[in-house]
A and B are shown apart, each in its own frame.
Chain A
C-alpha cells in the first residue's frame, strides 16, 4: 500500500491493519497456536520487500520460523538489506512475454538462497512464493518453497476436541 491511505486523505490507515506474519507471531507468542511436530529439513526465509523493508517484520518472521523448524539457516544479506525476489510491484503478473526478466534478474536471489544450503524456503508473500518456485525450476535446484501459513498448518497441534475421527478408524 504505497502511500495508499495518505493519498485518500488519511494520515494513518483508519483501521489498524496487520500482516499475517505479525498475527502468526502473536499466536505463537501467546500460545494460541502450539507447535507439535517441528520441521526437520534445513529451512531458510525470504524477506519480502513489503513486509520486511516497508514494515520491519523480519524479526517476527524469523521467530515464527524458528519456533516451527529445527534447522534454521539465515540468509545473507538479510532483513531490510535483502534482495527482492524480482516479482515485486506487479512484475509477477506480466505473463509469458516477460517471464525471462524474472528468471534472469532473479539470479542474485536464487544464488543467495542456494548458498544457505537449505531445502525449504519460507515465503510469506504470494509473489515471492511463485517466483522463487519458478526460479528453482529454472535453475534446476533441489529446493521447495512454502508459505508461512502452510508451515504453521503442517506443524501446529490440533486440539483433541477439534480432531476429526477418520471413518476408517471408526469402522475398526
Chain B
C-alpha cells in the first residue's frame, strides 16, 4: 500500500466546496463521467496498463521528490481513477478532496510519461478526466475557479473586459511609437494575413509583451490585426478547471473572431 505524505494546505476552493457535497451527488457525477463521457477510451487505457512503472522516471515530480513512489504517474492514476472505479463512485467528500489535490496540483499534464509508456497510454487524458469530475463538483483550487468564472463573465482570463482591452491597445500603441516611427496596431482589419490573439496577461500587467509583438510585426511589415471585440483572448483556463462547456464557448469565440475578420492565419500568444 502506498503511503501518502503531504503537507496540509488550506485552499477555500477545496475545503469550503466539499461541505456542500452529498455522497449521492458524488456518486452520480463520477458515474456520469466514467460511463457516459469517457467510456471506451478509458476502458482501453485501464485494461492496457500492465503496471510496469516505466513512466516513473519520466515524471518531474517523482524525480524532484527523491523518487517518492506516491508521485509516480501510475500511482496518481491508481489513487484517483482506479479507486473511483473500484468503489463504483461510492466515495466520501474527504477522498474526493484527495483526488482533486492529485489531479490538480500533482500533475502538469505535460504528457512526458506517455512517451515512455510502451503502450502510449495518454496520462494527460486520464488526469483531465479526474479534473473533469472534480470540476463538475466545483472542487478545484480557488484561484483557478475564479479564472474559469472570469471566462464566463468577461470572456477573458483575468477579468479584463472588452473596453479595457481596447484602452490597453491604444496605450501600447502610443508607447511603441517611442521606439518605432509611426508604428501602428491595427484593430479589426478585415482580410488581414495574420490575426494575433494575445494572452490575457498582455492586456493586464504584461503589456510590454504586447508591445514586443507589435514592434516585431511593424518591423517585419506584416499585414496583421487583432479583434477589438470579445474573443480576443487566446487563453482558456476553463479547460484546466474541467469545465468543458465553458471551454467550448471560449474556443468557439476565438475562432469566430477569426471568421469575422476573414483572416488567413491565427497566431496565438505562446
Contacts and interface: CB of A to CB of B under 8 A. Distances in A.
Interface in B102-135: 104-112, 115, 124, 128
Given A7-B248, A125-B270, A158 B179 contact: yes
B258 interface: yes
Given A100-B7, A147-B212, A49 B266 contact: no
A58 interface: no
A5 B251 contact: yes
B10 A107 contact: no
B252 interface: yes
A35 to B, nearest CB: 12
Interface in B236-269: 236-237, 239-241, 244, 247-248, 251-252, 255, 258-259, 263-269
Contact of B265 (A1, A16, A94, A124): A16
A4 interface: yes
A152 B236 contact: no
A109 B206 CA distance: 24
Contact of A84 (B60, B178, B181, B244): B60
A95 B141 contact: yes
Interface string B215-228: 11011111000000
Interface stretch (A37-45, A68-76, A113-121, A159-167): A159-167
Contacts of B177: 164
Using C-beta atoms within 8 Å of the partner chain, give the interface range for chain A: 35 or more
Contacts of A18: 265-268
A110 to B, nearest CB: 9
B77 interface: no
- Residue of B106, B108, B199 most packed against chain A (CB within 10 A): B108
Contacts, number: 190
B246 to A, nearest CB: 12
A106 B112 CA distance: 15
Contacts of B209: 126, 147, 149-150
Contact of B252 (A8, A88, A89, A147): A8
Interface string A7-20: 11000011111111
Interface stretch (B23-31, B61-69, B166-174): B61-69
Nearest to B107: A89
A56 interface: no
Nearest to A84: B110
Contacts of A147: 209, 212
Contacts of B270: 19-20, 48, 50-51, 124-127
Interface of B: 7, 9-11, 60-61, 63-65, 104-112, 115, 124, 128, 141-144, 147, 177-183, 194, 199, 201, 206, 209, 212-213, 215-216, 218-222, 236-237, 239-241, 244, 247-248, 251-252, 255, 258-259, 263-270
17 contacts: A18-B266, A18-B268, A20-B213, A20-B268, A27-B220, A32-B222, A88-B109, A93-B237, A94-B143, A97-B10, A98-B9, A101-B106, A105-B61, A105-B106, A150-B209, A153-B215, A161-B181
Given A15-B266, A84-B108, A162-B219, 20 more contacts: A19-B268, A27-B216, A27-B220, A32-B219, A33-B219, A82-B112, A84-B60, A89-B109, A94-B104, A94-B141, A97-B10, A98-B11, A98-B141, A101-B105, A104-B65, A125-B270, A126-B199, A149-B216, A162-B180, A162-B183
